[in-house]
Amino acid sequence: MSILKVDRVTKRFGGLVAVNDVTMEIQKGEILGLIGPNGAGKTTLTNLISGVHLVSEGKIVFEGTDITLLPAHKRCKLGIARTFQIARPLKNLTVVENIMIGGLFGKGENLKTGRKSALELCEGIGLKKPDETLDRITVLDIKKMEIARAMATNPKILFLDEVMSGLNMDETRDMIYTVRKIRDTGVTICIIEHVMSVIRELTERVIVLDRGEIIAEGPYSVVSMQHNVISAYLGEDA
């Protein structure tokens, strides 16, 4: 069953077409990989779905509701959450305070209930130093904190934008386990990732974007053998 439908969506920035006539569906409960070379339009597509940008053309439907024109905070309330490629933690706050922001703004919690649920999220995601300031925690913990902040809004679908970058092998394993655990709680996941071993291990299906268009769709094992996908990554003409 589909949770999200993107219907003939195009996004132009001036003369540049970042996303070109994209139609896709995300199935409830799946881990979908969104892959493609640099500049393919992956982040822009996520921005269009989460409401950071509005589409130039096309329609986006979430659980049967047309969200095309909704502002980001309303999409968040409906259950769409995302992390950012470049983490944007609030440096003067502690780990738990950063996570609370998601609950306070996304779910309308008060400080007391917000702190309680943020601490539960810390425990669930393996953040062992909730009262530490950010200059004293690892890159892995900052990334987990970003995910926990998105989770604090109680999402039905979570977009993860390059959460593995900068992690060593052990940390990557930990993050793969974390993402699976989140999905197992019933959250649908769409992950943008350049680390293909992660995509191979984590996703049931991938969508490949190149120059703003979908060029392939299917299990990673199949799609990664396709000539046009290999060419897109190698920079040749297919």
Ligand X SMILES: Nc1ncnc2c1ncn2[C@@H]1O[C@H](COP(=O)(O)OP(=O)(O)OP(=O)(O)O)[C@@H](O)[C@H]1O
Question: Which chain residues interact with ligand X by CB under 6 A?
Answer: 13, 16, 18, 36, 38-44, 85
Beta bridge partners of 81: 158
**Minimum distance from residue 182 beta carbon to ligand X (Å):** 22
Q: How far is the CB of 80 from ligand X (least distance, A)?
A: 17
Query: In this complex, which beta carbon is closest to ligand X, that of residue 13 or of residue 177?
Result: 13
Nearer to ligand X, 97 or 193 (CB): 193
Q: Minimum distance between the CB of residue 163 and ligand X, rounded to whole angstroms? A: 13
Residues 6 or more apart in contact with residue 117 via CB below 8 angstroms: 103, 109, 152
Q: Shortest Cβ distance from residue 103 to ligand X (Å)?
A: 28
Instruction: Specify the pairing of strand 188-192 against strand 157-161.
Output: parallel
- Cα 54 from Cα 69, distance rounded (Å): 7
Q: How far is the CB of 234 from ligand X (least distance, A)?
A: 16
Q: With beta carbons less than 8 A apart as the criterion, state whether 233 and 194 touch.
A: no
Backbone angles phi, psi at 166, to 5 degrees: 85, 0
User: What is the distance between the alpha carbons of residues 114 and 96, in angstroms, rounded to a whole number?
Assistant: 9
Q: Which is nearer to ligand X, 152 or 195 (CB)?
A: 195
Taking the least distance from each CB to ligand X, the nearer of 16 and 54 is 16
| Closer residue to ligand X, CB minimum distance, 16 or 238 | 16
Question: Do residues 180 and 202 touch, judged by C-beta distance below 8 A?
Answer: yes
Token pair for residue 65? Answer: 């509701």
